[in-house]
Structure 1
Amino acid sequence: MKWHHVQENWSAFYEAILDKWPEAEESELDEIDGDQRAFIAYIADVTEQDVREARDEIREWLTGEIPSDVVMDPSHDNHSISLSSKYVPDGEDEYDDDARFGDGD
């Protein structure tokens, strides 16, 4: 995932952040509000690491999965539906009600 995914859905990442860095505090994350530089500095501080080490650790963390509540956000629905079109038979509309798929009409 990219940082903009994190920044746009900041609060949805709290659980993943707290799982990775249990030393972090939700109130501090509220203050950071998706600011990447502030987050790197904060993680470096709470883990007592060098900023470069914290940045590398965050980069590694970004290779993980996007939390399901971000993926399931309604604002992502049309994108997810359009990606699913490769699994929909020719002549069917991927935006139609799922119950109608494969009905042969």
Structure 2
Amino acid sequence: MKWQHVQQNWTAFYEAIVEKWPEIDEADLDEIDGDQRAFVAHLAEMTGQEPAEIREELREWLAGEIPSDVVMDPAHDNHSIALSSKYVGEGEDEYSDDARFGDDDDYPDDGDD
């Protein structure tokens, strides 16, 4: 993931950030408000590590997966839906209800139950 994802969904990342860096609390995160430089400087000050070390930790953390609670955050989810429009046929709305495609319960019983 990129810092841009973190910055755009800043509050949704609070839990994942505190899990990685337990020294920081939500009040600090509110104040930092997604500013990467401020985040690195604050962590360096709190942990006594060099900013270069924090940046390396941050690079490693960003190489991981986006936490599921962030993926499910409405802002991120709506962005993902909008990006999916390139896979939706012309004239279709990517935000429309897909109920017309049916449900697994509508399939005939194949006797495996």
TM-score (norm 1): 0.75
In structure 1, the residue matched to 2:53 is 53
Structure 1, unmatched stretches of 5+, are none
Which residue identity does 1:25 align to in structure 2?
Answer: D
Task: Give the Cα–Cα distance (whole angstroms) in 1 for the partners of residues 28 and 8 of structure 2.
Answer: 17
In structure 2, the residue matched to 1:63 is 63
2:81 touches 2:95 (CA, 8 Å); kept in 1?
no
1:44 touches 1:50 (CA, 8 Å); kept in 2?
yes
Identity %: 64
For the pair 1:32 / 2:59, whether they are aligned, the reply is: no
Task: Give the Cα–Cα distance (whole angstroms) in 2 for the partners of residues 74 and 37 of structure 1.
Answer: 26
Q: Once superposed, what is the RMSD of the aligned Cα atoms?
A: 2.9
Rg larger in structure: 2
1:14 touches 1:26 (CA, 8 Å); kept in 2?
yes
Following superposition, the deviation at residue 18 of structure 1 comes to 0.6
Instruction: Decide whether aligned partners of structure 1 residues 82 and 63 sit closer, same or farther in structure 2, where only a CA change above 3 A counts.
Output: same
